[in-house]
């Protein structure tokens, strides 16, 4: 009986479902705040038959993926607390699907330990009581990883279609993944055209094509509204503007347009900071905000590009600071330090050096890495590169933690088979183990 429970992830991790619900009930704010307001407003718009208001006040700040999930609950007036409790269910299923994905290519112990790390990941727990997209995105990403792995282990087309649908819905939920899809498709087409043809390249391409097809109705809608093809949203311009700031002591973190930053008042050292921000940015922002939302997005992008061209080294510095904020939640412009940075440095450092070690081992053994791991790493790598070019925070990094645990768990389980030296045996040049994996060469439950 005990063995049956420990081998069934739905039972094994069931206590976390109740723990997550407890965390939400004890920490949920009584009123909506921050991005919660926007998601609920979009859900109300959908109930009334539209997503964005019509021109000139078009609002495409975020994609429709999460508001569509909220829609049926908002329509029947479910209290926000009960809707937020769904985050417990999403996070629980994310843990289960990560286990199931790793179990396909490793063993029970590695899969169970990796899923446990996701189950207790502090940043995931801290955002559970908020009606944000992160818990739902954890679920989508873990399910995507599981579907991709099933596709290559079971070699059934329906799993590839499922993986594409999930990735497409991730793009509708987090619109930056729309650009990841387009970049990923270009990479896959280049691999098909210019590299020695691998058995798994067409599968990658099909998954990304399905994902893009899922987003076509939304892109058709945004094209109709804005007249711009492949227009995912109008939030990127302002984020890129703040990321490109050329001023000293500003590190690319986002500020509200009125430059008071009322959303995060504790970050400022003194009221003088508001004067500095207005001195640095008031002229450009006042001019830009006189235009409608789509024009604002374009003008912010133009100013950002001008900043980058004039101050390329500062842009690279801001890019580095963005990556640091994703890992360590630091630095912020004109901000106090607090004790929370110690926890962030500890967790971020563990992730950073584990990732560096994983990259080295993966590169040395790149011919041995199984195709599903390569595909999720391709998508994740593009996502992180693009995220670094916008104002980024731990929220942007946290959602790809299931991928990191999947990848590092796979490497750990197969470490005995991996080379730790850069000089590879000559026979590996003639054998592509990925092609063997594509043909369902399975040994003791592991794709070789």
- Residue pLDDT, tens place only, 209-268: 999 999 999 999 999 999 999 999 999 999 999 999 999 989 999 888 777 655 554 555
Whether residue 394 is predicted with pLDDT greater than 60 in this model: the reply is yes
CA dihedral angle for residue 33, residue 38, residue 41, residue 42, rounded to 10 degrees: -150
CA neighbor of 352 nearest in space, from 394, 386, 313, 319: 394
Backbone angles phi, psi at 335, to 5 degrees: -115, 150
User: What pLDDT was estimated at residue 441?
Assistant: 34
CA neighbor of 207 nearest in space, from 260, 168, 254: 168
- How many Å apart are CA 262 and CA 291, to the nearest integer? 23
User: What pLDDT was estimated at residue 56?
Assistant: 87
User: What pLDDT was estimated at residue 439?
Assistant: 42
- How many Å apart are CA 288 and CA 311, to the nearest integer? 21
User: What pLDDT was estimated at residue 104?
Assistant: 95
Using the structure block, give the residue that is written with the tokens 């026979």. Answer: 427
- How many Å apart are CA 324 and CA 326, to the nearest integer? 5
User: What pLDDT was estimated at residue 325?
Assistant: 93
Lowest model confidence (mean pLDDT) among 143-152, 257-266, 406-415: 257-266
User: What pLDDT was estimated at residue 421?
Assistant: 66
CA 4 to chain centre: 34
3-state secondary structure of 68: helix
- How many Å apart are CA 367 and CA 362, to the nearest integer? 9
Using the structure block, give the residue that is written with the tokens 């890992």. Answer: 327
User: What pLDDT was estimated at residue 415?
Assistant: 86
Whether residue 427 is predicted with pLDDT greater than 70 in this model: the reply is no
User: What pLDDT was estimated at residue 314?
Assistant: 97
Q: What is the token pair recorded at 310?
A: 């004039």
Whether residue 208 is predicted with pLDDT greater than 70 in this model: the reply is yes
Lowest model confidence (mean pLDDT) among 108-122, 280-294, 424-438: 424-438
Backbone angles phi, psi at 443, to 5 degrees: -130, 120
Residue ranges of domains in the chain: 2-228+353-447, 236-328
Lowest model confidence (mean pLDDT) among 109-118, 148-157, 192-201: 192-201
Q: What is the token pair recorded at 213?
A: 């097809």
Per-residue pLDDT tens digits for 295-353: 999 999 999 999 999 999 999 999 999 999 999 998 988 887 777 788 888 999 999 99
User: What pLDDT was estimated at residue 55?
Assistant: 86
Q: Residue 426, Cβ neighbours under 10 Å: how many? A: 7
The rounded mean pLDDT for the chain is: 89
Answer whether 250's CB lies under 8 Å from 314's CB: no
- How many Å apart are CA 179 and CA 231, to the nearest integer? 10
Residue 199 banded pLDDT, cuts 50, 70, 90 = confident
- How many Å apart are CA 387 and CA 326, to the nearest integer? 9
Portion of the chain with pLDDT greater than 90, in percent: 74
Portion of the chain with pLDDT greater than 70, in percent: 89
Residue 425 banded pLDDT, cuts 50, 70, 90 = very low
Residue 438 banded pLDDT, cuts 50, 70, 90 = very low
**Nearby residues of 356 by Cβ (< 8 Å), 6 or more positions away:** none
Per-residue pLDDT tens digits for 54-110: 888 899 999 999 999 999 999 999 999 999 999 999 999 999 999 999 999 999 999
Per-residue pLDDT tens digits for 114-126: 999 999 999 999 9
Per-residue pLDDT tens digits for 154-185: 888 999 999 999 999 999 999 999 999 999 99
CA neighbor of 293 nearest in space, from 51, 36, 49, 52: 52
- How many Å apart are CA 334 and CA 274, to the nearest integer? 10
């Amino acid at each position: 009986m005990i063995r049956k429970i420990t081998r069934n992830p739905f039972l094994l991790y069931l206590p976390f479902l109740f723990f997550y619900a407890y965390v939400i009930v004890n920490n949920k704010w009584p009123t909506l705040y921050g991005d919660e307001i926007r998601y609920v407003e979009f859900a109300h718009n959908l109930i009334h038959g539209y997503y964005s208001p019509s021109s000139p006040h078009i609002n495409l700040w975020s994609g429709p993926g999460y508001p569509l999930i909220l829609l049926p609950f908002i329509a029947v007036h479910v209290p926000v607390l009960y809707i937020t409790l769904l985050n417990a269910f999403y996070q629980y299923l994310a843990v289960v699907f990560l286990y199931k994905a790793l179990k396909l290519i490793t063993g029970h112990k590695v899969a169970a330990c990796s899923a446990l790390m996701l189950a207790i990941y502090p940043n995931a727990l801290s955002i559970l009581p908020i009606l944000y997209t992160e818990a739902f995105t954890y679920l989508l990403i873990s399910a995507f990883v599981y579907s991709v792995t099933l596709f290559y282990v079971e070699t059934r087309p329906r799993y590839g279609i499922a993986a594409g649908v999930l990735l497409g819905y991730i793009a509708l939920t987090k619109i930056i993944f729309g650009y990841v899809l387009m970049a990923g498709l270009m990479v896959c087409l280049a691999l098909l055209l210019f590299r020695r043809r691998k058995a798994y390249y067409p599968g990658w391409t099909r998954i990304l094509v399905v994902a893009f097809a899922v987003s076509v109705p939304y892109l058709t809608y945004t094209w109709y509204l804005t007249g711009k093809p492949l227009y995912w949203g109008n939030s990127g311009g302002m984020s890129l503007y703040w990321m490109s700031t050329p001023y000293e002591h500003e590190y690319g973190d986002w500020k509200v347009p009125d430059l008071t930053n009322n959303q995060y008042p504790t970050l400022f050292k003194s009221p003088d900071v508001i004067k500095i921000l207005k001195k640095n940015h008031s002229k450009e922002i006042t001019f830009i905000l006189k235009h409608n939302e789509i024009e604002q997005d374009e003008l912010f992008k133009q100013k950002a590009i001008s900043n980058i061209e004039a101050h390329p080294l500062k842009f690279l510095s801001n890019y580095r600071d963005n990556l640091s904020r994703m890992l360590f939640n630091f630095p912020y412009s004109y901000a106090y330090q607090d004790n929370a940075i110690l926890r962030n440095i500890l967790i971020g450092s563990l992730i950073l050096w584990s990732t560096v070690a994983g990259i080295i081992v993966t590169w040395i053994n790149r011919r041995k890495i199984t195709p599903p791991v390569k595909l999720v790493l391709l998508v994740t790598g593009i996502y992180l590169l693009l995220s670094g070019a916008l104002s980024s925070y731990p929220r942007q990094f946290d959602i790809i933690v299931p991928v990191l645990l999947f990848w590092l768990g796979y490497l750990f389980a197969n470490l005995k088979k991996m080379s730790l030296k850069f000089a590879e045996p000559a026979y590996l040049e003639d054998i592509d183990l990925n092609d063997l994996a594509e043909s369902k060469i399975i040994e003791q439950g592991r794709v070789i």
